[in-house]
Structure 1
Amino acid sequence: MFFIDTIDVPGLGNRGYLAGGARTAVVVDPPRDIDRVLDAAARRGVRIAHVVETHVHNDYVTGGLELARLTGAAYHVPAGARVSYARIPVADGDRTDLDTGLVLRAVATPGHTPHHTAYILEEAGTPVAAFTGGSLLIGTVGRPDLVEPRLTEDLARAQHASAHRLADGLPDSAAVLPTHGFGSFCSSGPGAAGAGGSTIGAERRGNSALRQDADTFVAGLLASLGDIPAYYVHMGPLNARGPAPADLTPPAVADADEIAARLAEGEWVVDLRGRVAYAAGHVAGTVNVEADGQLATQLAWLVPWGRPVTLLAETPGQLAEAQRELVRVGIDRPAAAATGEVGDWLRDGETAGSFPRATFAGLADALAAAADGDGGGLVVVVDVRRGAERAEQGWIAGSAPVPLHELRSRLAEIPPGTVWVHCAGGLRAAIGASLLAAAGRRVVAVDDAFAAAGAAGLPVTAGAAAGISAASRA
């Protein structure tokens, strides 16, 4: 009998896997915090004999090299990947014995990257699962535009062919176990984010890559590609060089004076508390990125690569979990950190900053009052959703489209007045409001689902998918 355990990385929308038999196991696409993988193997009572990568990852720092070093496992990386460390180069058709009756077979599946490789788990000669990495995902495929713009269309066509190769060579019952596609920006579309699993048969029925001809599929795929998180450009080279082991030891403790000094130097001081608590009171100049809201993706997208980051957390546990998330995207060591509440982080005589929160109904009231001349000044509405979301979900007439990841570089474009910031659900609006407040602007964070905007009487222009849920990948 075989087993497959999922190593879930929900903050990045990814999954790794531990699979094997009674004595030995393989790990597929491990996250950088490999202690979770080691714990899973210990619970199973198996030895990790092999670690395999489906590709050189563009969205997170792998733990594969360190895991192989610690366990003595063979480290398998696609032969076409250019890496700087010793590994076993994997070619199409290679077979690796895992345990009694269990074999892992490599299948070249270019598309997400030119060297991408899937791995088929076979029991007694029967394919039972496909570790598909960034090729065939649940309801969609991995995006083909992360390597080189000039290769994007060719890789999109290769992605279509790879999906068909997997489907044509596997039984309907084989499980489809991708690395991406659960909210990851490596996915070319929303797919079935959060899905528990799938099979080849289910993908034959529902995946556009398997239901459309190549030309139709490629045209749709290329038209659907959205923004790429800024930190992605650093992930591939870092993984190719060979990442250092993750250091999760507690960072140096910062007192109120050090927090103030770091802010004065223009460093990033990030408050991890929930947006309600942050809006009610915070250290002026800090940025609010909730610990429970895709912290790694949101923060790594905003912070210039290599810039020092100081973290403020409610508890040591919240701080430790934030460190764990951030090492996965190459933010290795906080410059400093502090735990507690806002009063602990203020110098004597210093006053906490704050700003109001509101609903879309409150925004409608503010706009109406401003139009009547008794609203206390100009109301500026800034929409920090990404362009593709705005086009799909619709937008408030007169709102300024400034995606969150562009906000700091475009502050000068935002007109005078009180800035009402909104997104799809409130999380990014809070981040945007904190960035604007740190820049000295008067802000109101709209903490509401965008679906409520029309019902509140705001003039909403219908998007391509009017009425869809406001939930999005971020």
Structure 2
Amino acid sequence: MNRRIFLKNGASMAGWGMLAPHFMVNKTTGMYHIEQFTDEGLSQFTYAILFDKKIVLIDPARDPQPFYEFADRNNAAIIAVIETHPHADFVSSHAEIYRKLKTRIYASKKLQAKYPHHPVKDGDVIALNNHLLLKILDTPGHSPDSISIVLRENNIDKAVFTGDALLFGDVGRPDLREYGNNENEQRTSLAKAMYETLQTKYLPLNDKVIVYPAHGAGSLCGNAIRNVKSSTIGEEKKNNHAFHHANESDFVASILKDLPFIPKYFPYDVELNRSGAGDVQPGIRKVQLREENFQPPERSLVVDIRPKSDIQEAYYPGAIYVPEGTKFETWLGTVIAPDKKFYLAVQDKDAFHTAVKKLAKIGYESNIEGGFVYTVKKPYPVFLNGKSFSLNDRDDYTIIDVRNKKEYDEDPIIVSSVNIPLPELEKRLAEVPKNKPIVVHCASGYRSSIATSIIRKEYPQLSILDLGEDVTRIKNKKSTDH
């Protein structure tokens, strides 16, 4: 029997959320307003439903301050938080919001969350007022405990907040929550659950219902997400491949094919979100910038995030290089495991503070032992002495292509190359041939710079060159030769 839950201002069951630097207006009526907050780095969306000077947050990002400011601007109170599932790619602020505001948190009964919460199940209704309600849908597939939330106004479905289940042009991948010896069976089971979710939960919704997922283009929670900010059920039925498979087996085969890599931090964030993370600002304040050219203890892990021009002038031997950029936190969490402590080598204090804030979004602020500006002049170990790499010389080198397998299979930039995708590199270092100088490349130069530092740290005696952005010259040469 489904329940009707009445939500009142000041309800005290639980709640948490965090960080969302930009926002945009999506939908406003006389009854309610929906605000979408966007974290571009993680391609993540948080939603605020504003009604009667009250706010319900859905999937809040790590830093809750933008949500508090939104509430203040609208003279409103945050009275509830809904978690569609325990997120793998970012840390939610639901626990922090609860501790500050005693806001009620809603999460799936299947989750068995470890924080104070109000468990919900399929068909439960949260009444906002006499005209608005939220209906809970069980929508497993991306995870076994995913829920979606339908916003209904005067008995008409207006919007559905789908978490990571239904995305723009895609569905959530089914391989982020199940690990172990029978992971293939578990992934297949979740893929079948996703097919059932599409058929029984999303297809029956009216075509005009607006779709608001937790992620957009660039997120690793899907495989091919369209670059838009909102959609409708009708648009998804027409344009989303997931609705166009003849049967369950075709659907399962499709979504299990060519799945993206899983960053090392994903399982860690799932469990952190299931338990509830600590407050973000105290954690950030604990991370201190040390004196310039600070020397970490012997065998410490150093992650260098400075621009490549700085590194070429002041090289820190043995550091892992993860350039600061749009997807910095994702790539650092891909190559650095959540059980590793590390120092940050930075170009200035602003870069340090920016990096710490970004890493807090994935729960890594407690992993940072500190940071330091590094300026010690040391020659950057480049072995070609200024000579440009030429395809004519390819047999003189071992070429390592660190793009993913699908990229490599579809377009091997240098035919003689060895393909070791960056996320697999650390485990496959023994496969790196050591009888020749090594040239590393990707598609643009970002991943290759990380990969080069990993190989150089393991094999400092080898001659290694990061082809970097010069890979575009090779690609252009290859196309003109054809």
The reply to whether TM is greater than 0.5 is yes
Partner of 2:229: 196
Code of the residue aligned with 1:411 in structure 2: it is L
Query: Are positions 1:115 and 2:133 aligned together?
Result: no
Query: Are positions 1:153 and 2:188 aligned together?
Result: yes
State the 1:455 CA deviation.
2.9
Alignment counterpart, residue 294 of structure 1, candidates 327, 335, 343: 327
- Work out whether residues 38 and 44 of structure 2, in 8 Å CA contact, stay in contact via their aligned partners in 1: yes
Partner of 2:200: 165
Code of the residue aligned with 2:262 in structure 1: it is I
Judged with a 3 Å threshold, the aligned counterparts in structure 2 of structure 1 residues 421 and 318 are, in CA distance, closer, same or farther, namely same
Partner of 1:467: none
Alignment counterpart, residue 287 of structure 2, candidates 251, 254, 258: 251
Query: Are positions 1:383 and 2:418 aligned together?
Result: no
Judged with a 3 Å threshold, the aligned counterparts in structure 2 of structure 1 residues 146 and 281 are, in CA distance, closer, same or farther, namely same
Alignment counterpart, residue 476 of structure 2, candidates 438, 455, 466: 455
State the 1:305 CA deviation.
2.5
Alignment counterpart, residue 176 of structure 1, candidates 211, 231, 241: 211
Partner of 2:162: 132
- Work out whether residues 167 and 204 of structure 1, in 8 Å CA contact, stay in contact via their aligned partners in 2: no
Query: Are positions 1:103 and 2:133 aligned together?
Result: yes
Query: Are positions 1:29 and 2:59 aligned together?
Result: yes
State the 1:450 CA deviation.
6.2
Code of the residue aligned with 1:57 in structure 2: it is H
Query: Structure 1 length as normaliser, TM-score?
Result: 0.85
Judged with a 3 Å threshold, the aligned counterparts in structure 2 of structure 1 residues 20 and 165 are, in CA distance, closer, same or farther, namely farther
Q: Distance in 2 between matches of 1:97 and 1:152?
A: 35
Code of the residue aligned with 1:322 in structure 2: it is A
- Work out whether residues 395 and 460 of structure 1, in 8 Å CA contact, stay in contact via their aligned partners in 2: no
Partner of 2:43: 13
Q: Distance in 2 between matches of 1:452 and 1:45?
A: 56
Code of the residue aligned with 1:438 in structure 2: it is K
Matches for 1:224-373 after TM superposition, within 5 Å: 224-246=258-280, 247-249=283-285, 251-255=287-291, 258-259=294-295, 261-262=296-297, 264-265=298-299, 267-333=300-366, 334-339=368-373, 342-343=374-375, 346=376, 351-353=378-380, 355=382, 362-363=388-389, 365=390, 367-369=391-393
State the 1:22 CA deviation.
4.3
- More deviation, 447-456/118-127: 447-456
Partner of 1:464: none
Alignment counterpart, residue 420 of structure 2, candidates 402, 408, 412: 402
**SS in structure 1 of the partner of residue 243 of structure 2:** helix
Partner of 1:435: 454
Q: Distance in 2 between matches of 1:317 and 1:268?
A: 21
Q: Distance in 1 between matches of 2:111 and 2:312?
A: 46
The alignment of Structure 1 onto Structure 2 pairs a total of residues equal to 440
- Any unmatched runs of 5+ in structure 1? 372-377, 462-474
State the 1:395 CA deviation.
4.4
Query: Structure 2 length as normaliser, TM-score?
Result: 0.84
Code of the residue aligned with 2:401 in structure 1: it is D
**SS in structure 2 of the partner of residue 335 of structure 1:** strand
CA RMSD of aligned residues (A): 2.7
State the 1:100 CA deviation.
6.3
State the 1:87 CA deviation.
0.6
- CA-to-partner distance for each residue in 1:301-338, whole Å, 9 max, x for gaps? 21133221211233333222211221222212320112
Q: Distance in 2 between matches of 1:22 and 1:111?
A: 34
State the 1:370 CA deviation.
6.1
Partner of 1:78: 108
Identity %: 27
Judged with a 3 Å threshold, the aligned counterparts in structure 2 of structure 1 residues 79 and 369 are, in CA distance, closer, same or farther, namely closer
**SS in structure 2 of the partner of residue 435 of structure 1:** helix
Q: Distance in 1 between matches of 2:129 and 2:284?
A: 33
**SS in structure 2 of the partner of residue 224 of structure 1:** coil
Q: Distance in 2 between matches of 1:305 and 1:169?
A: 41
Code of the residue aligned with 1:176 in structure 2: it is V
Code of the residue aligned with 2:209 in structure 1: it is A
State the 1:28 CA deviation.
0.8
- Work out whether residues 140 and 207 of structure 1, in 8 Å CA contact, stay in contact via their aligned partners in 2: yes
State the 1:449 CA deviation.
8.1
